Amino acid sequence: MSDEAEAGFDPEADDELLAGDAGEDDLAEAAAVLPEEADFTPGETIHDISSIGGMYQNWFLDYASYVILERAVPAIEDGLKPVQRRIMHAMKEMDDGRFNKVANVIGQTMQYHPHGDASIGDAIVNLGQKDLLIETQGNWGDVRTGDGAAAPRYIEARLSKFALDVVFNPDTTEWQASYDGRKREPVTLPVKFPLLLAQGIEGIAVGLSTKIMPHNFRELCKASIDVLKGRDIVLYPDFPAGGLCDVTNYNGGLRGSKLRLRATIEKVDKTLLVIRDVPYGTTTTGVMESIVKASEANKIKIKKVVDNTAAVVEIQVHLPAGVSPDLTMDALYAFTDCEISLSPNTCVIIDEKPRFVAVEDMLRLSTQKTLRLLERELEIRQQELQEKWHSASLEKIFIENRIYRKIEECETWAEILETIDAGLKKYVRIDGEKERANDTRIVLRRAITEDDLTRLTEIRIKRISKFDGFKADEYIQKLETELAEVADNLANLTRYAIRYFEGLLKKYGDGRERKTELRTFDVVTAQKVAVANQKLYVNRQDGFVGHGLKKDEFVCDCSDLDDIIAIRRDGSFVVTKIAEKTFVGKDILHVGVYNKNDDRLVYNMVYQDGPSGISYAKRFLVTGITRDKSYDLTKGGKNSKVLYLTANPNSESEIVAVQLSDKAPARVKQFDFDFAELAIKGKGSMGNIVTKQPVKKITFKERGDSTLGGREVFFDEVVGRLNNAGHGRFLGTFDTDNTILVVYKDGSYELTPPDPAIHFDVRNIVLLRKFDPDTVINAVYVEGESKTHYVKRFRVETSTVAKRFLFLPETKGTHLVCATCGVVPEIEVKVQKEKKGDKLAERIHLHEFIDVKGWKAMGNKLNYFKVLSVALLTDEGPEPERKASTRKKGPATIPKAAVSGHEPLPEHEGPVDISPEEVAQAQALLQHKAKSQMTLF
């Protein structure tokens, strides 16, 4: 349902009205909001053109104010728009505990809302779908799928118990006449709850709009309690459809704030992704259409998408073989409605003016308003109890002292009242009157009025004859007790309000737990996740590159968002956007996809300087470039040319064979050159001299190691992703063949490459660390059939990457209790030897309890007694240490000065036989053994 429909606002009709092309009904409606002094009637033709400007200015401001205050923007007092408030008032008038046809509710509401049945019906459906104020019956549609509700004559509604408890109180309601003067309606409802924040609302007015996000019921109650206790509060949205939400830039929902919402996508296997919910404001149909559209635009590769939504959302995205599910997941967030952004704008009516306030401030205002309403209700209740006590006391005196007999001889009404009044004064005195000696009179809280005397004359003889003084005293005592309780609540109003919100939380909070998970999202760059939907070709001789040169040389797969780098034989290069056909210069030596953020791709090059004939070697990175600008990799001399060039993805060095020209005067005409001896510099560096002799050719001889060392990999548990930027927990330095060990809660493990594109569901992960073949996994699990606890220790014996292996028995009910890779694994087991025996705690060192066995072994039983709980006492040990520099250094050399004793020997910088992790583990084991020996003594 649209915001305009909920507000009773038809933008097309309003545009026609402002344009002057409207019907008589529209003009009559506009005339209803115009100033009374305006000399204009519907159907009248305006002849004085000179006055149109002034009338437009005055009438438009009045109209704009009317739309803002009476249609689109909610009031802070009750959080309702006028149409919603009138619906609630009409349903209260109709309420008899049974369901009413929505068509009847619409008809009842039209007595108060002068804007037709369509807007009322849409507003009722909107309220009913929020499942807070209205109980529904029938087909009310589904906000997740976008299905609309059935016709008003087929669906039914009634006020919820929450609405009856919180929204209505005629004694504290301010009333006003309805639009036709025949009825009265509330100015605002006395809502004792932050209803506006619980439901959320949207509306478009003239010149402004409001968009307030829904928040969690339980969190609002707790936040109101915190406000009353003087604590700071922070509120975040909670959407009924669930999903994920990044509130980093929420900023209380003020103007300029932003929310990022994502659907929860589950990776079932390599060919199937399942979307479990949809972002707020979208539908399953809209999400499916956006996926199909992205697939048709070649932004993602999918086989098919199927909507199996029923009680829960389930959209299956089937992938073709060979397509990465992790990259597809990122692409769904980047190119479809699986991720959307919302811009909240908390605008409300305060003191008949639109105001922009943060949600925390709105809650404080609502809480203080609730406090005043509770105070007013207590004061009204106190007055009611005092009147009841006053009447009961007078009645008791009137009957027990037989004052009614004294009026038998009275002949006039005035004489009767005087007789009763005189009889009562013997037994009562008004609070504040002078007290007599040995005074036993009852003290009344107010003076006796004529109405009191009249009420006494209306007591029937039957009631007088059955009067029980003991029950009368008991009733008065009960009233006094309740009066004392009300007085105590008034004296401690904050405490009473806290108990009120605690009562709401207890009575209506069940089943209203948070549905939206708050997460911090990583930024998905379109270039990184764009599917390789194009093929790159090159015509080296003519100097053309692009995806349209299908008859020329194929280079690689790429996407239509990629940049291309082309290096020519003269040593110049250019980076350009991929296109169907682009000229980059003749005699192309190298062409490939360019990634400006890749700091590992190193170019090894040997070039000959034209003027001098000297050959130089250089290793460089291509960074800091301007697209379509030509750069020179040589010294810039005329006739310079590239003799050898390779691109190395992980900064690998090379050994090349250099063969000099036959005419070269050098005696040795062939030698090897090692690029590992060169430092990696920028693209503009000159390089080192290889030879001053003319070169015949240079050929590849041997691949070297990565001179930048392995990549430092970190795991950010907030977003569940690996990265090389230093965010999160340091996992270690990874070379090309290193992998990551992941142990899951379902009792399986997996070896995965350190790919930043992989999504890890941290909720289902027990362990995640760099894999070491010598690592021992220590696991405690419960076998499903026997309900027995087992311990097993094993090493990973499989080498298959990106495949899960279940190391627990496959019996039903088997589950993992805990797992660790610590060197000295220790657990605490609580057992019970007999049914009613004492509970005992025992510490067990798993490396002493069982030896390392195969990964498929069952393991050993933990204990023959009943195991109550198992707690892991050891962690994974110290984190791997980061080195000061990741670049590998050459073999250490000992300076001569050190041999002579003038300078201390440098620390060895070459490879060592034991890693820092192994050192830390060995130290921990020695400490444990020392501790055990001390315990023996």
Q: Is 356 exposed, middle or buried (0-12, 13-18, 19+ CB in 10 A)?
A: middle
The CA–CA distances, whole Å, from 834 to 838, 844, 864 equal: 8, 21, 11
Element housing 157 (H / E): strand 156-159
- Strand, coil or helix: 249: coil
Give the integer Cα–Cα distance in Å for 215 and 196: 9
Dihedrals phi, psi of 329, to nearest 5 degrees: -60, -45
Dihedrals phi, psi of 485, to nearest 5 degrees: -65, -40
Strand 588-594 to 553-558 pairing: unpaired
Transcribe 165-227 into DSSP letters: HHT--GGG-EEEE-TTSSSEEEEE----S-HHHHH-EEEE-SS-EEEE--B-HHHHHHHHHHH
C-alpha R_g of the chain: 41
Instruction: Determine contact, residues 41/31, Cβ cutoff 8 Å.
Output: yes
Instruction: Determine contact, residues 213/91, Cβ cutoff 8 Å.
Output: no
Give the integer Cα–Cα distance in Å for 665 and 673: 19
Strand 100-101 to 156-159 pairing: antiparallel
Instruction: Determine contact, residues 366/196, Cβ cutoff 8 Å.
Output: yes
Instruction: Determine contact, residues 829/813, Cβ cutoff 8 Å.
Output: no
CA-nearest of 634, 536, 530 to 576 is 536
Catalytic residue check, 154? yes
The CA–CA distances, whole Å, from 178 to 92, 114, 329, 364, 917 equal: 16, 10, 55, 31, 79
Dig out the tokens for 784 from the structure. Answer: 């499903």
Give the integer Cα–Cα distance in Å for 789 and 766: 18
Element housing 539 (H / E): strand 534-539
The residue annotated as part of the active site, out of 56, 63, 66, 154, is 154
- Strand, coil or helix: 710: coil
Element housing 583 (H / E): strand 582-583
Element housing 670 (H / E): strand 670-674
Give the integer Cα–Cα distance in Å for 108 and 523: 51
User: Where are the strands (E) in 755-877, listed by range?
Assistant: 765-770, 776-783, 788-795, 804-806, 815-820, 826-832, 839-845, 860-861, 866-872
Dig out the tokens for 242 from the structure. Answer: 């669930």
Give the integer Cα–Cα distance in Å for 607 and 461: 125
Pure H helices in 818-915 = 846-849, 896-899
Give the integer Cα–Cα distance in Å for 224 and 92: 27
For residue 540, the Cα-to-chain-centroid distance in whole angstroms is 51
Residues 6+ apart with CB under 8 A from 670: 657, 658, 659, 660
Overall residue count recorded for the chain in this entry: 937
Give the integer Cα–Cα distance in Å for 267 and 245: 19
**Count of CA atoms in the C-beta half-sphere (13 A) of 43:** 2
User: Where are the strands (E) in 249-379, listed by range?
Assistant: 259-262, 265-269, 272-275, 304-307, 315-318, 339-342, 347-350, 353-356
**Count of CA atoms in the C-beta half-sphere (13 A) of 262:** 23
Give the integer Cα–Cα distance in Å for 190 and 180: 24
Give me the active site residues, please.
154
